[in-house]
Structures are given as C-alpha cells and as structure tokens.
Structure 1
Amino acid sequence: MKTIKLGLVTILAAVGMISCSSDGDDSPKNDVNPLAEFNLIANIEANGHSLELYSEGKTGFTTGYNELFVRIKNNADDTYYTNPEITWLPVMHMMSMNHSCPISELSISDDYDTVATGYIVFQMPGNTDEFWDITFTYEVEGQEFSVTETIDVTAPSDGKQAVSSFMGSDDVRYVLAMVEPTDPKVAVNDIKAMLFKMESMMSFPIVENYSVALDPRMPSMGNHSSPNNEDLTYDAVTKAYNGKLSLTMTGYWKLNLKLLNSTGEVLKGEDITDENEASSLYFELEF
C-alpha cells in the first residue's frame, strides 16, 4: 500500500499560500488531495456530502480483496471532514436471499486524518438480476447520516480466481482471499491471504491459527512445481496468512491449496499426485 504523506514541499507551499493571503480572507481552502495518484471508483452524493471511494490499483469493485480509501467532503465549501466516524455494510441482493461479505472496520489513516481505510472481500460478482449495495453510516460535526448506494461488482478482468467461498469438511462455510502478490515476478514472492468463516448471513469473522498448504503448478508445462515455497501461517499482528511463493517462469500458475485447522485436519483441498493434477481449493496467477 502506498504511504499517504504530505511532503515538505507541500507543507512549505501551504505555508506560503497562507502568508500571502489577505488578513480578511478566511474562506476555506481545498485540501491537497493525498489520494491524487489513486483511482476514484465511486462518488456517492447525499445529505449535502460526497463520499469518495478510492483504490490504489483497481478501477472498480471486483471479486476478491478490495482495499479502499474513503473521504467525506462537505459540498457547501469543498472541504473534507477530519476524523469522521464511518461504518459500512455491503449486501448482496440475490433472488432468494440477501447476504454480506467479509469486511474490516474503517479506520483513519495514520498519515492523513481525512482518509479512512479498510477492505471488502466480495465473494461473487453481480449480474442482471442480483446486485451489491453498500450502506454507509457516518457521523460528522456531531450529526449522524446514512446513505445506501448500488455498486457494480465484477469478476477480475484477467478471469483468474483470487477468492474462494466453500464448505469445509467441518460443515462451516469459509471465504479465502488472496491479498498478495499483486505484481508477481520470477522470484520467491511474498504471498498473503485472509481467511474468514460465515458466522451468519451478515457476519464473517476472521479465522485464526489455521494454516494453508501451498503447491503451485504450471499445467501447461507438465504440471511442474517450484522449489522454496513456504506454506501460509497465521500472523496475529496482520490477522492474515503469510507464506512464500516461488515462481520460476512467466505464464499461468495454479496455486493449489489445502486448508488445515489448528489440529492439522484438512478441511478443504487435496494433494497433487500423478492421478490428481489439481486441488479443489486454489488461486490462479498469470504474468
């Protein structure tokens, strides 16, 4: 994730603008946009405000892990609220039911107090009959507001699987999402994933202290694997599963996975053998 910081030049420029303004000019000034290099993927206007949603690398909402940055603008004077309290709830409206998905809390960025950050893991795309929306509830200047907006969630443009929703052998439904690598290279890459369980249709808490076995293969090259891979283990600080992914050449890779609980019982996925060329639990990469 890019660091959102105001540089020294920006600060000096801001000081210069203040010193050059007339004594009687106390009109609000536009904030320098700390997200100028990010993609604005939604602008929701309601209650005299604009909720701006940004992504670092994506141009829209896609299935899988979406890291998002949110700012709230006062449309009356084009200024942004500092330290807003924001909650969100995505809901998928299906033909027969409604459900949510894994999300984080929205927390204020360490680098800029008008920017809230968090993630959403969409486990399925919308279609012509079924759709996602997000409800934002937020408090600014002591007042609480709410707005619900329909959004378009699509499958990744490369068609590769980066999230899996499945029933484990313990009769629990899980969601496993790949977070990294976003820019894979011929090297030993860091691989990061997040694991959630469906506690209810609207609650998907993080699952701790499991493990994810990793066996990357190239189906077009005799299904060969690679050396120096490391299985994904839980990190209590990041609340994610981290490992090492060795990619020895460019092309299409299937990252075969097995999910194991804290006692080592396999809940989903299979070993790769001469008779079984792929696991039922996997991610995909092509670069």
Structure 2
Amino acid sequence: MKNIQYLFACLFVFLFASCKDDENNVIPTVDHFLVAEGKTASGKKVKLWSAEKDLLVAYNKLYVSVQNADSSYTGDPAVTLTPVMDMGTMKHSSPVEQPVYDASTKLYPAGVVFSMPSGDMGSWTVTAKVDQEEVTFPVNIKSSPANTKYTTTFVGSDGTAYTITLVDPSGPKIGLNDLVVLVNRRESMMSFPAVQGLTLEVTPEMPSMGHGSPNNVNPAFTSGGRYAGKVNFTMTGDWRLHFKVLKGSTVLAQDVALDLLF
C-alpha cells in the first residue's frame, strides 16, 4: 500500500512539475494579434505581435516574443526592430521605440511609426535583431481611416525634418483625455532619433463646428521622444490638434496638425 501511495506521490510531483514547465513556456498573448513569425539561424522562434488587428499609418504598439528551439526561455536576449519601406529606387525607415523586455509577460513591447501605406509606392518589412541574428518579416500597412492623420512630417525653421505622431488618446472620448505625442527628427533616411527638450503648445479645434475646447494642458517632455499633456474633447466628431513647436525661444513651426475622428 505504501509503495502505491509513493508511486502516486511521484506521479503527482512529475505532472505538477511538467505543468509548471509548460506554463513557463507559454507566452501570454491575450488581446494581441500575430503579425508574423520566423526562426533565426540558431533556431530561436521569433514572433511579431500587434495590439490591433491592422497595422496603420500611425503609431503601432508591437510586441516581440523570443523562444529557444524547444520553446524554453534562457536569459533576456537583446532585441531591436528596424522597419524598412522598399520603394524600388530607394529605401527608408521610420521612427521606432525599441523593445524593452517585460518579464511579467515574457514579451518585448515596442512602438513603430509607419509613415505611409503598403501598395503601389512600395512594401514594408520589419527586421527583428535578436542578439546578432536577424529575422525579417513582411508586413502590410493600411492607410489610417478617412479624415484622420495620426502622424505628420514637417521641416522646422532650422532646416531639420521632424515627425510628430499621436500615441494617445488611442481611444478618444468626450471629456479630458491623456495626450501623448512622439517627436523624432530625420537624421538620415534610415535613422529617426527621438527629440528631447522641445516646447509644445496644443490648440484643439473642431473644424466642422468652428470651435475649440477649454482646459487643455500643453504636452511636456517626459522621456525618449514623448511629450505628455491633456486634451479636452467636448463632443464626438472631427477634431484637429494644432501644435506650435519651439526649441528654446526659436519657433520651429507655427502650426503642425494631427486629425482625429470619433
């Protein structure tokens, strides 16, 4: 009888340990959409996930998962993303918030701004570099919805090309919303570093109704290329966010506009 009890105890421990191992190897991807997957030369499984079903000309929340060939995890490999638009006669990249590992989800959250849609003009890829190995994924980028503009590029009075992109509100509502924008500069066609130390002034307008809104808070620099403030939407419909951009006392641009519709 004791032998039988001992065997059952061993079996329970084995099954429990196996289940725990399986749990440790499962990537929690609830509410994430699989964009593409591939393998490195050494057999690592690399997957690209998105917070939304479609990738748009906008700021896109992306996630990378990395597993060994046996689906296990070892360490925290360095991961970077490089988006590239191939237009045939030329190639260019776009602004990126590089992945940072989140141990609680076993994912690498990142942000990528796609500046134009896939189509006749060219095609997009995203290359994930895991340590020294690379996996390149083809991705399809759709135009943002009609009457919206979530990202735009302007040339400042200093002759530099800047990109300003709406990060939040991603789901705008009536009332006071968190406002986050990402600002990058074009160093080259393949490099778009974040810009710090600017002053942004925001003025919301509802073009179809001819009015603005009160109680807005100008976005202030937080980290990377992010600037955070508040924007007040008094009703649903079309809204345009006008930004005045300054570098010290120098006005880089008087009116840079992003458009929302909800």
Please state which band the TM-score falls in when normalised by the shorter chain: 0.7 to 0.9
**TM-superposed deviation, 1:286:** 1.5
5 Å-filtered alignment, 1:192-207, equals 192-207=180-195
Return the match for 2:114 from 108, 115, 122: 122
- Which whole-Å deviations, capped at 9, do the CAs of 1:162-210 have from their partners, x for residues lacking one? 1001211211000101100011111111101011111112111111111
CA distance in 2, matches of 1:209, 1:107: 23
- CA contact under 8 A between 1:71 and 1:80: conserved in structure 2? no
Return the match for 2:26 from 22, 32, 46: 32
| 3-state SS of paired residue (1:220) | coil
CA distance in 1, matches of 2:79, 2:174: 40
Residue of structure 2 in register with 1:5 after alignment: none
Q: 1:107 to 1:22 in 2, by over 3 A?
A: closer
| 3-state SS of paired residue (2:97) | coil
Task: Tell me the amino acid that sits aligned with residue 110 of structure 2.
Answer: G
5 Å-filtered alignment, 1:113-192, equals 114-139=106-131, 144-158=132-146, 160-192=148-180
Matched, 1:286 2:261: yes
Q: 1:256 to 1:194 in 2, by over 3 A?
A: same
Q: 1:82 to 1:40 in 2, by over 3 A?
A: farther
**TM-superposed deviation, 1:105:** 2.4
**TM-superposed deviation, 1:220:** 1.5
| 3-state SS of paired residue (1:21) | helix
CA distance in 2, matches of 1:171, 1:121: 22
| 3-state SS of paired residue (1:89) | strand
Q: 1:42 to 1:157 in 2, by over 3 A?
A: farther
- CA contact under 8 A between 2:118 and 2:141: conserved in structure 1? yes
- CA contact under 8 A between 2:196 and 2:224: conserved in structure 1? no
Q: 1:230 to 1:132 in 2, by over 3 A?
A: same
- CA contact under 8 A between 1:212 and 1:260: conserved in structure 2? yes
Residue of structure 2 in register with 1:268 after alignment: 253
Q: Share of identical aligned residues, percent?
A: 31
- CA contact under 8 A between 2:35 and 2:139: conserved in structure 1? no
Matched, 1:227 2:217: no
Structure-1-length-normalised TM-score: 0.78
CA distance in 1, matches of 2:58, 2:254: 19
Q: 1:177 to 1:129 in 2, by over 3 A?
A: closer
CA distance in 2, matches of 1:245, 1:36: 30
Q: CA RMSD in A?
A: 2.5
Task: Tell me the amino acid that sits aligned with residue 197 of structure 1.
Answer: R
CA distance in 2, matches of 1:175, 1:157: 19
- CA contact under 8 A between 1:125 and 1:155: conserved in structure 2? yes
What residue ranges of structure 1 are gaps of 5+ in the alignment? 1-16, 271-280
Compare relative contact order (CA 8 Å, sep 6+) and give the higher one, 1 or 2: 2
Matched, 1:54 2:41: no
CA distance in 2, matches of 1:22, 1:234: 49
Task: Tell me the amino acid that sits aligned with residue 33 of structure 1.
Answer: I
Task: Tell me the amino acid that sits aligned with residue 146 of structure 1.
Answer: E
- CA contact under 8 A between 1:123 and 1:175: conserved in structure 2? no
Aligned residues: 250
CA distance in 2, matches of 1:117, 1:105: 8
**TM-superposed deviation, 1:93:** 1.3
Q: 1:22 to 1:260 in 2, by over 3 A?
A: closer
